[in-house]
Structure 1
Amino acid sequence: MKKIIISIFTILLLLSCKNEPQVLVKVEGKLLPITEEIQSKKEIEDFIQPYREKVEAEMNTVLSYTEKDLVRTDGELESSLGNLMADLCFDMANPVFKSRTTNNIDFALFNYGGIRAGITKGDIKTENAFQLMPFENNLVVVELTSEKIKELVNYLIANNRAHPLSKHINLEITKKGYNLKINNLPLNDSKTYFVLTSDYLQNGGDKMDFFKNPVSIQNLNYKVRNAIIDYFKDKDTINVKLDGRFRAEK
């Protein structure tokens, strides 16, 4: 009898230990608001402090100076900050592109929404570059046909915003259409053009689909923000103005 009881107990024990399939029934979450009542741990603060001080020192490093506020809203179809951003990216990227391909970039185009902050009159710091361009976007050069350039122009006209456009473009909206010159020459239908932009826009960001499927593409592996920082480091004072590179006929 004892053996029978032990045997039954053993069988029941084995059955109770059988691995049953696990099924997720529900997931519960709890909101933990971060308030002043939550006290930081001293050992963690002590560990982080040297890194915080290093980052703050780097962010406060003075790179250049501007005698006026630089914003994206001081013009209708162009802006001081947009002109600056497009021109400086061109200046920093063209030597890199030429060293790799022997070609020159024809012009640069970025998007209005990509400018995330203005720069106030006074010292320009590293922090300003991060505020201006908080994204990890890379500079790319796409080779576009004249038909793609026409799509680009039609986009700019329809969008009617001050997208950053480099000084190599002269675009006037007229009552009959538009007048376009690239590097002081009319659009050549038998030519392709090298256009500098960001990898985000090249992938169709901001509905700039004309950048998709180019004749060729060259990723410079050079972040837009790094180009901004490098340019500011090289300039004692930033001088920029509205020059009518994109305008509507009066």
Structure 2
Amino acid sequence: MKKILFSFLLVSFFLSCKDVAYKNTKIVGKTSQIDSTTVADSTYIKVIEPYKEKMIKEINTVLTYTPIDLVRTDGNRQSTLGNLLADLAYTRANPLFKKETGKDIDFALFNYGGIRSGIFTGDVTNRNAFQLMPFENMLVVVELSAEKVQELVNYFTNGNRAHPLSKQVQLTIRQNGHTLKIHGKPFDKSKTYYVLTSDYLQSGGDRMDFFKDPVKLYKLDYKVRDAIIDYFKSVDTLTSTLDNRVILK
């Protein structure tokens, strides 16, 4: 009898181990209102508090100082903040690109709409960097044909926005045309140029379609925001002016 019972239990065990196909038959949702009457759970607060304190400390860490307000609206086709952003990105990215390729970036271009906040007189913190660039955009370099560079310039001159353009460019805009110099040399229609931008713009963001399908694309594995923070850490004082990179006649 014991053998029969054991055999029965053994068979039952193996049958219970068979794969069973479960099917969801019902989904129930519940809305929990969170307002002033909600009581905080002290257990969770105790776990979260150290991380919260660390985050607050880091976000308010002073990186540098600015003696003037830096904004995107204080110039015509250029701005102190746009100039700073384009120049610092070039400064941080060019050594990486040169190490990889042995070549220099020709210039940098970003978009006006990508500047999400100004930086105002006083201490500059990590918070300012995150407010300025809240996105996870990465820096990339595109090798553009002369034809694509001309499309880029046409986009810039036909619009009425101060897109961040680095100081390696001298662009004179007239009513009947424009003159372009890069690194002090006249634009050469027979060569390609290396342009620094973000992966968002390279994919055609803000209608910058000239960045699509470049001769070659280089990914630097470096976030725009990280470049901003690293530059802020490297200088005691931020300086930026409206200069001759864009001249209107």
TM over 0.5: yes
Cα distance 1:33–1:243, how it changes in 2: closer, same or farther (>3 A)? farther
**Secondary structure of 2:218's aligned partner:** strand
Residue 82 of structure 1: aligned partner:
82
Cα distance 1:134–1:45, how it changes in 2: closer, same or farther (>3 A)? same
Cα distance 1:45–1:196, how it changes in 2: closer, same or farther (>3 A)? same
1:17-32 correspondence runs (5 A):
32=32
2:230 maps to 1:230: yes
Q: CA deviation at 1:176?
A: 1.5
| Separation in 2, partners of 1:33, 1:175 | 60
Cα distance 1:241–1:49, how it changes in 2: closer, same or farther (>3 A)? same
Matching residue's letter, 1:43: T
Residue 39 of structure 2: aligned partner:
39
2:171 maps to 1:171: yes
Matching residue's letter, 1:135: F
| Separation in 1, partners of 2:145, 2:25 | 56
Residue 149 of structure 1: aligned partner:
149
**RMSD of aligned residue pairs (Cα, Å):** 1.8
| Separation in 2, partners of 1:84, 1:166 | 8
Matching residue's letter, 1:45: I
| Separation in 1, partners of 2:247, 2:74 | 13
Residue 213 of structure 1: aligned partner:
213
**Secondary structure of 2:238's aligned partner:** coil
| Separation in 2, partners of 1:39, 1:199 | 44
Q: CA deviation at 1:28?
A: 8.1
Identify which range, 31-40 or 43-52, moves more after superposition: 31-40
**Secondary structure of 1:72's aligned partner:** coil
Residue 67 of structure 1: aligned partner:
67
**Secondary structure of 2:143's aligned partner:** strand
Asked whether the equivalents of residues 78 and 244 of structure 1 are also in contact (C-alpha less than 8 Å), the reply is no
1:75-154 correspondence runs (5 A):
75-154=75-154
Matching residue's letter, 1:182: I
- Contiguous gaps of at least 5 residues in structure 2: 1-20
| Separation in 1, partners of 2:145, 2:223 | 25
Asked whether the equivalents of residues 89 and 108 of structure 1 are also in contact (C-alpha less than 8 Å), the reply is yes
Matching residue's letter, 2:217: I
For each residue in 1:129-165, what CA deviation from the matched residue of structure 2 results, as whole angstroms up to 9, or x when unmatched?
A: 1111011111000000110000001111122100110
- Contiguous gaps of at least 5 residues in structure 1: 1-18
Q: CA deviation at 1:29?
A: 6.2
Asked whether the equivalents of residues 87 and 167 of structure 1 are also in contact (C-alpha less than 8 Å), the reply is yes
TM-score relative to the length of structure 1: 0.87
Residue 9 of structure 1: aligned partner:
none
Matching residue's letter, 1:40: A
Q: CA deviation at 1:32?
A: 4.8
Identity %: 57
Q: CA deviation at 1:37?
A: 2.2
**Secondary structure of 1:65's aligned partner:** strand
| Separation in 1, partners of 2:44, 2:25 | 38
Q: CA deviation at 1:35?
A: 2.3
Aligned residues: 229
- The 4+ residue runs of structure 1 with deviation greater than 3 A are 21-24, 27-34
Q: CA deviation at 1:39?
A: 2.2
